[in-house]
Amino acid sequence: MPAVSKGDGMRGLAVFISDIRNCKSKEAEIKRINKELANIRSKFKGDKALDGYSKKKYVCKLLFIFLLGHDIDFGHMEAVNLLSSNRYTEKQIGYLFISVLVNSNSELIRLINNAIKNDLASRNPTFMGLALHCIANVGSREMAEAFAGEIPKILVAGDTMDSVKQSAALCLLRLYRTSPDFVPMGDWTSRVVHLLNDQHLGVVTAATSLITTLAQKNPEEFKTSVSLAVSRLSRIVTSASTDLQDYTYYFVPAPWLSVKLLRLLQCYPPPEDAAVRGRLTECLETILNKAQEPPKSKKVQHSNAKNAVLFEAISLIIHHDSEPNLLVRACNQLGQFLQHRETNLRYLALESMCTLASSEFSHEAVKTHIETVINALKTERDVSVRQRAVDLLYAMCDRSNAQQIVAEMLNYLETADYSIREEIVLKVAILAEKYAVDYTWYVDTILNLIRIAGDYVSEEVWYRVIQIVINRDDVQGYAAKTVFEALQAPACHENLVKVGGYILGEFGNLIAGDPRSSPLIQFNLLHSKFHLCSVPTRALLLSTYIKFVNLFPEIKTTIQDVLRSDSQLKNADVELQQRAVEYLRLSTIASTDILATVLEEMPPFPERESSILAKLKKKKGPGTVTDLEEIKKERNSDVNGGTESTPVNASTVSTPSPSADLLGLGAAPLTSSAPPPSTTGSLLVDVFSDSASVVAPLAPGSEDNFARFVCKNNGVLFENQLLQIGLKSEFRQNLGRMFIFYGNKTSTQFLNFTPTLICSDELQSSLNLQTKPVDPTVDGGAQVQQVVNIECISDFMEAPILNIQFRYGGTFQNISVKLPITLNKFFQPTEMASQDFFQRWKQLSNPQQEMQNIFKAKHPMDTEITKAKIIGFGSALLEEVDPNPANFVGAGIIHTKTTQIGCLLRLEPNLQAQMYRLTLRTSKETVSQRLCELLSEQF
């Protein structure tokens, strides 16, 4: 068939591609492309009608030019015309062009939809397949609205070919993920379930993916799928590898279908029908038995497929949590993997066993592997596997092994990776509190924790120690004695000083009878640490001193001398100065009774959830072992000393301020509300300058316009009756160039036209801006251009201010706007596979590296607009990475002159609540904070 071979060859396209590849420079390539574009344009506009082959060839060339990065603004109609061709190759190219170049707002969308409808109605399986692929590739709301009602009919029609059914199922899945509101549930749902019995395993695989997604939101509609899924799974599991030759992968029959069926079953509780339940149990036992059989192949593909089915079966067993025999067998099977040479298997085994530890049936079986897990903690080279080992130790902990596990965690903490130290500290603190039979052990453990990893002991941990000590009379004397001894070390962590100051201020009298810990010795010991501490800790120690005045009147004079010293009364920090003045005055004029009343011992704190547990949940996210632990039926012990309220010292006599709250309660840190220009270093010069005028405050609407430019580079930045400011900018790595266009909208000249870029001192060190002065006279109706060359030295939080001053008709005009040079402009998108993304995500688990914001949607929650904004923000939009298809995941690298900062983002929309949760993880705290601020404003 010569026509077909001619169509397949497209020699003109091959020659054009060859010419492009042979170009020696970018200029030569552009010249060749422009020549070709002119030729194609003339052919399309010519009098002579083009045949299908020529149209296809020229449309292919346009597609290739577009893929090279050039804009294409014609040829769309010719591509649409190709859709009406009866030749497969021509129709294929038409659909390919439309999938890549035509957006959902195009005027041609109606013509395209008509062509797709014709192909869907043609009953030609090849043409129907092309149409379905196009719908899925575009996946817009318009496509969903037009075809979501038609595709289910094709899917369940009796005369539809298997290949078309596969495409229809996956196309419907794509539309449901992007626009679930346009996919109506109806009679077809009961019929699509029966596709699980289809003879063609490809159809079954596609249908299972569709049903699983639909069942997650509409479980009642698809509950009949359970028995069919069990039946199909049973047939696959019991079949020999030769029975399913086309779908056997390295001697494992239909592994991916098996995994999908097992995942579908996890959408539902255990089957109520005894026969179905028994058949499912047999399937799961068979899978566990096959795992014990010797491998049929030494190739890694065989073990991967076999283990994929096994781990999904174990997930289903854990999900049902109703068969003690299966749970114990699963635990034993995972125990064998704990010492496997394959790192990924060890990781998955530890992760699955964390969940098994929460079941009352398998908890004891998990505990038998404690020595293996402890050994993994000590010897494992991969940090992510060590982190899972810590999680498993935490999950298997109970009263019988708490002291052993806490001791091992403390030993590991001394050499642990910095990224997981804070998490280990939180877990040790929770376990020590929860399973403390003897509270002296608890106090010793927490003080040891502060000694080993003081920098990672958050405020919640030492708040909690104080709460428990105050609530339990039997441990107060021991705690006072222990912290007193700990403070005698030459170098103490500041958190230990805080705990010591608080406890001695409350209970120092309990050890004052010992001459080795007399009141004066206690005071001198604390005061020796005073000058080495930060302002909040010094403020707490001053409160301890005034407590000592009440507890130990014999050292009142010594304490008053300290409070009266210039270093306190004239302290540069207003909070310390105020405390010293007030406490000195209180100790001087107040009677003994008043002092005793004002400075009385703290009352017990009310019972609440442990703040440490709350912090760990927040850090690890929902559905982790910290949540699962709460449903352990075996654990019936209460949280010891379960109190939450944060301790407040007697410092309430002081005026509230950001640091008045000794333990960081209540008061939020103050943020400067001054306009950006007030921070600029140039303003001080301006005040004394004869030539420069005072910089105006930001123009109304400047912030809104600034926010709009975060995800785009071109547009109008500012406009009033006199002046229009337009921007066009481009960025690559840490360099950028911005063209600023000043347009005079009047018929009168602007005189002394002076635009000035203003940067704060801090911004000047992070951003290098170079610009040339513009003509001081702008004629009426004219436009002048200013070029700004940008170099990002290091990350920055602020934006430059563009101040424009000129005279119009004798009147002085002074306008200031924020120039949209933001940190995300120096993003370079990075494509990542799912495994690489989540591996990097876990590496960036330090609290300082993560910034999260939950906020109400300000704009309609449109999937396509959201994708466009994330791409416009600068990161790569990673498809099919997040397990939840409704979420958006991105990755990129911020390029600065001094460093490169990897950035990962995750946006989770909640359509019902009309809210978003945005999580940014980068290797630098300030970058996470700034990017989170910028992106949150876009939705």
In the annotated binding site, the residues are 11-12, 43, 53, 57-61
Q: Is the pLDDT of residue 623 over 80?
A: no
Closest CA to 561 of 578, 552, 543, 549: 549
Secondary structure (3-state) at 67:
helix
List residues bridging with 853 in a β-sheet.
Answer: 918
Cα angle 402, 403, 408 (rounded to 5 degrees) comes to 100
For tokens 């899972």, the residue is 388
Alpha carbon distance 728, 712 (integer Å): 9
Average pLDDT in the 810-826 region?
A: 87
User: Is-contact 134 92, C-beta < 8 A?
Assistant: no
Alpha carbon distance 154, 172 (integer Å): 10
> Which pLDDT belongs to residue 715?
82
For tokens 């690890």, the residue is 620
pTM comes to: 0.59
> Which pLDDT belongs to residue 460?
79
Tokens of 713: 């580079």
DSSP characters over 896-908? -SS-EEEEEEEEE
Q: What is the pLDDT of residues 121-180, one digit of tens each?
A: 888 899 999 999 998 988 888 888 888 888 888 888 888 888 999 999 999 999 998 888
Average pLDDT in the 898-922 region?
A: 87
Q: What is the pLDDT of residues 318-342, one digit of tens each?
A: 888 888 888 888 998 888 888 888 8
Confidence of residue 648 (pLDDT cuts 50, 70, 90): very low
Confidence of residue 656 (pLDDT cuts 50, 70, 90): very low
Q: What is the pLDDT of residues 174-214, one digit of tens each?
A: 999 888 888 888 788 888 888 888 888 899 999 999 999 98
Alpha carbon distance 244, 237 (integer Å): 11
Tokens of 140: 């817009």
Confidence of residue 629 (pLDDT cuts 50, 70, 90): very low
Q: Is the pLDDT of residue 660 over 80?
A: no
Q: What is the pLDDT of residues 371-408, one digit of tens each?
A: 989 888 888 888 888 888 999 999 888 888 889 999 99
Q: Is the pLDDT of residue 654 over 80?
A: no
Alpha carbon distance 216, 210 (integer Å): 10
> Which pLDDT belongs to residue 662?
27
Tokens of 658: 């950001």
Average pLDDT in the 637-650 region?
A: 38
Phi and psi at 438, nearest 5°, equal: -115, 120
Closest CA to 647 of 481, 471, 425, 456: 471
User: Is-contact 512 545, C-beta < 8 A?
Assistant: no
Q: Is the pLDDT of residue 261 over 90?
A: yes
List residues bridging with 253 in a β-sheet.
Answer: 248
> Which pLDDT belongs to residue 612?
66
Q: Which of 53-62, 588-597, 818-827 has the lowest mean pLDDT?
A: 588-597
Helices (H), 179-200: 188-193
Secondary structure (3-state) at 581:
helix
Q: Is the pLDDT of residue 58 over 70?
A: yes
Q: Is the pLDDT of residue 912 over 90?
A: no
Confidence of residue 632 (pLDDT cuts 50, 70, 90): very low
Alpha carbon distance 782, 622 (integer Å): 59
Q: In the chain, pLDDT over 90 holds for what percent of residues? A: 15
For tokens 């591509």, the residue is 79
Alpha carbon distance 328, 356 (integer Å): 9
757 against 3, higher pLDDT: 757
The size of the chain, in residues, is 939
Q: What is the pLDDT of residues 97-115, one digit of tens each?
A: 888 887 766 677 888 888 8
Task: Measure CA of the first residue to CA of the last residue in the chain; give whole Å.
Answer: 55
Most confident of 497-501, 683-687, 845-849: 497-501
Confidence of residue 669 (pLDDT cuts 50, 70, 90): very low
For tokens 């690489």, the residue is 836
Q: What is the pLDDT of residues 876-908, one digit of tens each?
A: 888 888 888 888 898 988 888 888 888 888 898
User: Is-contact 886 177, C-beta < 8 A?
Assistant: yes
Closest CA to 848 of 423, 462, 430: 423
Alpha carbon distance 39, 54 (integer Å): 12
Q: How many helices (H) and strands (E) does the chain have?
A: 42, 16
For tokens 């749970």, the residue is 327
Confidence of residue 653 (pLDDT cuts 50, 70, 90): very low
Alpha carbon distance 222, 414 (integer Å): 52
Closest CA to 664 of 618, 611, 620: 611
Confidence of residue 358 (pLDDT cuts 50, 70, 90): confident
Average pLDDT in the 227-231 region?
A: 92
689 against 529, higher pLDDT: 529
Q: Is the pLDDT of residue 259 over 90?
A: yes
Measure the CA dihedral 173/175/177/179, to 10°.
Answer: -150
Tokens of 130: 């092309």
| Cβ within 8 Å of residue 648, ≥6 positions away | 602, 661, 662, 663, 665
Phi and psi at 81, nearest 5°, equal: -65, -35
Phi and psi at 171, nearest 5°, equal: -65, -45
| Cβ within 8 Å of residue 836, ≥6 positions away | none
